[in-house]
């Protein structure tokens, strides 16, 4: 096993970062007594602050470690991920941000409830929010395990499990103490650190390549076992027809998934009004776009300077390409810094996901479904805190299981589930007058069950023990176990159109037709913001 | 028709059950909706079409994407970077357009509806 750097230095830098972020979370937290404080940070953030925080929430370990790692091993095909991850934001900006902020209070289930007034729909929206959040959490925790074992020199299985558990406990602490306000500040600081760290490494690589993108690509291709094939598409997804459709499916999930990610959408409620919500997203797009351009350079830089062989041999495989590159460029201290930023990234994203999932359970399931909207705010916040603890523990267990799976790949699955289960009902309730409760239920459960079901019966879970064709070996490593009948790794190509279709079918066959007055309210409120809760500056 | 504020967080309840429909049918609201639609609908169709063109070329025309533009830079890379460029352009464009052409109108309508004057 490989250890890079000096574990003691890495641990010291880690500890410093953790201490600093804890201070931020605690001092920013405030009282956190009301649900608006706890879930939405009092709605007092500006568009710019929130935009950077959304960037911090979105630029997960999958972006920093996963995409750069995929580029380092497969070249161009890794770059394709970052384009889908970026372009999907336009959908949030143009169609979702404004109406969502105007028609909901804390969760996307609020939006559906305003339109359809049906308790089962609220429950369904909460179930899909929780599922997507858990998928995403699993991906983050998987990244944490690999990173920590690489940097802290923890190679024993128990040691890694303990470190994953520590990540989980820290994150529970952030969420319990900091609420949305504390979590937001942690995300803002992390987004800035991450961008600066990636910028420094990018400039460093470019200096080595004489500030020429062309010569960087040339060096990288020369160092890669695949040669110049890395400069064009196809290494990962051009193997055969199935893998090409796999790529189409993935691209669809990436571009439609962002607008259905609950932890991103929930952040739009932390600003005073819809105009600020849109402004947030413009900031996020700039931050995320610039960052992904850095990962392009970092990925090819790692291919050139570190080399595929060393990356493949490292614990965490492609997830460790960036830390290895940092070590190559700036030695122990720079490695420690970059790794600490990556670690802070995981903590911040996990905290964001945890607060979203806990809000969804407490606000939608407990207060909305079990108490039929009659819960008092104190008990709702208490339930949210307890849920945060439970989710943290689940994430720890998941992280211990999924250590060696590529993070970007796992996140792509979460995107597919989000695009299938969440997006159709959100868009229909904003824009389609005939949408009904039955349409919502069919679309949410249909999208959720088909996306998750197709993943279970895909090569991701069984039947590809050898790891051929890009995505890596199946979770079940026994080659004799094969119940994969769905050929694609990503279910999006089937499950997303199916969810849209079911939403339509359920609505047009619903014996209770849509109420035009509710659609009128949705539209008037969505566009003008009449009746939406303002922020404390509003 | 009057619009009154009900319990906090529930939003205003309009005096008659079809109050929102009256607002929805008003000329001012239709103007607001049309204005947003003129920007949002064509831009959404365009960027999704542009993105899927890229995706399909990357999947099924790798030879085309490998054609060299200069040095080691090929069409695929340029195409990818153009996706970044168009995304920035649309985001910043909408970020400038909305506060000038949409937000003031929406805010005025909201103000009027919440203070209970006729739409």
Say what the pLDDT of residue A404 is.
63
Tally of domains within chain B: 1
Q: What length is written for chain A?
A: 538
Nearest to B95 among A279, A524, A530 (CB): A279
Tally of domains within chain A: 1
Q: Which residues of A touch B118 (CB under 8 A)?
A: none
Q: Which residues of B touch A529 (CB under 8 A)?
A: 106-107, 110
Contact A285, A92 (CB under 8 A): no
Measure in Å the smallest separation between the Cα of A171 and chain B Cα atoms: 30
Contact A245, A488 (CB under 8 A): yes
**What pTM did the predictor assign?**
0.91
Q: Rounded to whole angstroms, how far apart are CA atoms A401 and A396?
A: 9
Cβ-defined contact of A244 to B59 (cutoff 8 Å): yes
What range does the domain containing B110 cover?
3-114
Say what the pLDDT of residue B14 is.
47
Residue B109 forms part of a structural domain = yes
Mean pLDDT of B47-58: 96
Cβ-defined contact of A237 to B59 (cutoff 8 Å): yes
Contact A48, A282 (CB under 8 A): no
Residue B91 forms part of a structural domain = yes
Residue B28 forms part of a structural domain = yes
Q: Rounded to whole angstroms, how far apart are CA atoms A487 and A112?
A: 34
Measure in Å the smallest separation between the Cα of B47 and chain A Cα atoms: 8
Nearest to A278 among B80, B87, B98 (CB): B98
Measure in Å the smallest separation between the Cα of B64 and chain A Cα atoms: 9
Q: Is A227 on the interface with B (CB under 8 A)?
A: no
Nearest CA in chain B to A282: B91
What is the maximal distance between C-alpha atoms in chain A?
68
Residue A533 forms part of a structural domain = no
What range does the domain containing A521 cover?
7-528
Residue predicted with more confidence, A120 or B117:
A120
Cβ-defined contact of A231 to B58 (cutoff 8 Å): no
Nearest to B24 among A84, A281, A523 (CB): A523
Q: Which residues contact A23 (CB under 8 A, 6 or more apart)?
A: none
CATH number at residue A145: 1.20.1730.10
Give chain B as a 3 state SS string: CCEEECCCCCCEEECCCCHHHHHHHCHHHHHHHHHHHHHHHHHHHHHHHHHHHHHHHHHHCHHHHCCEEECCEEHHHHHHHHHHHHHHHHHHHHHHHHHHHCHHHHHHHHHHHHHCCCC
Q: Rounded to whole angstroms, how far apart are CA atoms B38 and A403?
A: 48
Q: What length is written for chain B?
A: 119
Q: Which of A373-377, B39-43, B75-79 has the lowest mean pLDDT?
A: A373-377
Measure in Å the smallest separation between the Cα of A86 and chain B Cα atoms: 8
Residue A538 forms part of a structural domain = no
Nearest to A527 among B32, B91, B114 (CB): B32
Q: How confident is the model at residue B9 (pLDDT cuts 50, 70, 90)?
A: very low
Chain A (81-140) residues lying within 8 Å, Cβ to Cβ, of chain B: 83-84, 86-87, 89-91, 93-95, 105
A104 is written with which tokens?
């909901």
Say what the pLDDT of residue A467 is.
63
The pLDDT tens digits along chain A (538 residues) read 455 667 787 778 878 888 888 888 788 776 667 888 888 888 889 999 999 999 999 988 767 788 899 999 999 999 998 999 999 999 999 999 999 999 988 899 999 999 998 899 999 999 999 999 988 888 788 777 777 777 777 767 777 788 788 878 888 888 888 888 888 888 998 899 899 999 999 999 999 999 999 999 999 999 988 888 899 898 888 778 888 998 999 999 999 999 999 999 999 999 999 999 999 999 999 999 999 999 999 999 999 999 988 888 877 677 788 989 999 998 888 888 887 888 788 888 888 899 899 999 999 999 888 888 888 888 888 899 999 999 888 888 887 777 666 666 678 788 999 999 999 999 999 999 999 999 999 999 999 999 999 988 888 877 776 665 555 667 777 777 788 888 888 899 999 999 999 999 999 999 999 989 999 999 999 999 988 877 654 3
Cβ-defined contact of B59 to A524 (cutoff 8 Å): no
Say what the pLDDT of residue A4 is.
62
Residue predicted with more confidence, B43 or A403:
B43
Tell me the CA end-to-end span of chain A in Å, nearest whole number: 56
Measure in Å the smallest separation between the Cα of A363 and chain B Cα atoms: 14
Residue B119 forms part of a structural domain = no
In terms of Cα–Cα distance, which of A499, A361, A485, A398 is closest to A164?
Answer: A398
Q: Which residues of A touch B58 (CB under 8 A)?
A: 80, 233, 237, 247
Q: Is A497 on the interface with B (CB under 8 A)?
A: no
Contact A233, B65 (CB under 8 A): yes
Residue A534 forms part of a structural domain = no
């Amino acid at each position: 096993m490989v250890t890079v750097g000096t574990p003691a230095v890495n641990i010291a830098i880690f500890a410093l970062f953790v201490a600093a972020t804890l201070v931020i979370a605690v001092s920013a937290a405030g009282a956190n007594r009301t649900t608006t404080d706890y879930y939405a940070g009092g709605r007092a953030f500006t568009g710019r602050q929130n935009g950077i925080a959304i960037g911090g929430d979105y630029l997960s370990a999958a972006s920093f470690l996963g995409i750069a790692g995929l580029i380092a091993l497969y070249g161009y095909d890794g770059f394709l991920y970052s384009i889908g991850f970026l372009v999907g934001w336009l959908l949030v900006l143009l169609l979702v941000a404004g109406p969502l902020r105007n028609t909901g209070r804390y969760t996307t289930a609020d939006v559906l409830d305003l339109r359809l007034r049906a308790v089962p729909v609220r429950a369904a929206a909460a179930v899909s929010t929780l599922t997507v959040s858990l998928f995403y959490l699993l991906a983050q925790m998987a990244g944490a395990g690999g990173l920590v074992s690489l940097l802290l020199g923890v190679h024993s299985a128990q040691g890694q499990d303990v470190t994953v558990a520590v990540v989980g406990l820290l994150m529970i602490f952030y969420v319990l103490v900091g609420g949305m306000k504390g979590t937001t500040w942690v995300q803002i600081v992390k987004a800035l650190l991450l961008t600066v760290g990636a910028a420094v490494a990018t400039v460093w690589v470019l200096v080595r390549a004489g500030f020429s993108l062309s010569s960087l690509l040339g060096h990288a291709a020369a160092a890669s076992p695949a040669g110049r094939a890395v400069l064009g598409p196809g290494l990962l997804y051009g193997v055969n027809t199935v893998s090409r459709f796999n790529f189409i499916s993935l691209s669809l999930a990436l571009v439609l998934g962002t607008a259905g990610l609950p932890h991103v959408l929930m952040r739009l409620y932390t600003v005073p009004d819809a105009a600020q919500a849109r402004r947030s997203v413009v900031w996020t797009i700039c931050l995320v776009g610039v960052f992904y351009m850095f990962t392009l350079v970092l990925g090819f830089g790692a291919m050139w300077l570190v080399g595929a062989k060393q990356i493949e041999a490292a614990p965490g495989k492609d997830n460790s390409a960036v830390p290895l590159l940092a070590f190559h460029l700036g030695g122990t201290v720079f490695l420690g810094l970059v790794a600490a930023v990556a670690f802070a990234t995981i903590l911040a994203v996990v905290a964001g996901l945890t607060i979203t999932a806990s809000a969804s359970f407490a606000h939608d399931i407990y207060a909305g479904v079990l108490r039929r909207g009659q819960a008092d705010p104190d008990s709702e916040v208490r339930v949210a805190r307890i849920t945060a603890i439970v989710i943290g523990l689940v994430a720890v267990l998941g992280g211990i299981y999924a250590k060696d799976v590529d993070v970007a790949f796992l996140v792509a699955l979460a995107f597919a589930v989000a695009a299938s289960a969440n997006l159709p009902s959100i868009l229909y309730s904003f824009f389609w007058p005939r949408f009904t409760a039955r349409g919502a239920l069919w679309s949410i459960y249909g999208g959720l069950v088909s996306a998750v079901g197709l993943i279970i019966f895909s090569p991701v879970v069984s039947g590809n023990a050898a790891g051929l064709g890009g995505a890596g070996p199946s979770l079940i490593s026994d080659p004799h176990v094969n119940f994969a009948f769905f050929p694609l790794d990503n279910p999006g190509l089937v499950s997303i159109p199916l969810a849209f279709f079911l939403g339509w079918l359920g609505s047009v066959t619903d014996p209770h037709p849509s109420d035009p007055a509710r659609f009128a309210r949705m539209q008037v409120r969505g566009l003008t913001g009449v009746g939406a809760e303002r922020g404390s500056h509003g | 028709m009057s619009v009154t504020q009900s319990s906090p967080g529930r939003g205003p309840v309009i005096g008659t059950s079809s109050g929102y429909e009256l607002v929805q049918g008003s000329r001012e609201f239709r103007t607001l909706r049309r204005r947003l639609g003129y920007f949002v609908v064509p831009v959404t169709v365009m960027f999704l079409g542009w993105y899927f063109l890229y995706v399909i070329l990357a999947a099924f025309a790798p030879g085309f994407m490998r054609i060299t533009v200069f040095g080691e830079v090929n069409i695929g890379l340029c195409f990818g970077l153009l996706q970044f460029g168009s995304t920035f352009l649309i985001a910043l464009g909408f970020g400038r357009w909305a506060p000038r052409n949409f937000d003031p109108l929406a805010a005025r309508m909201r103000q009027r509806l919440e203070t209970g004057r006729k739409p």
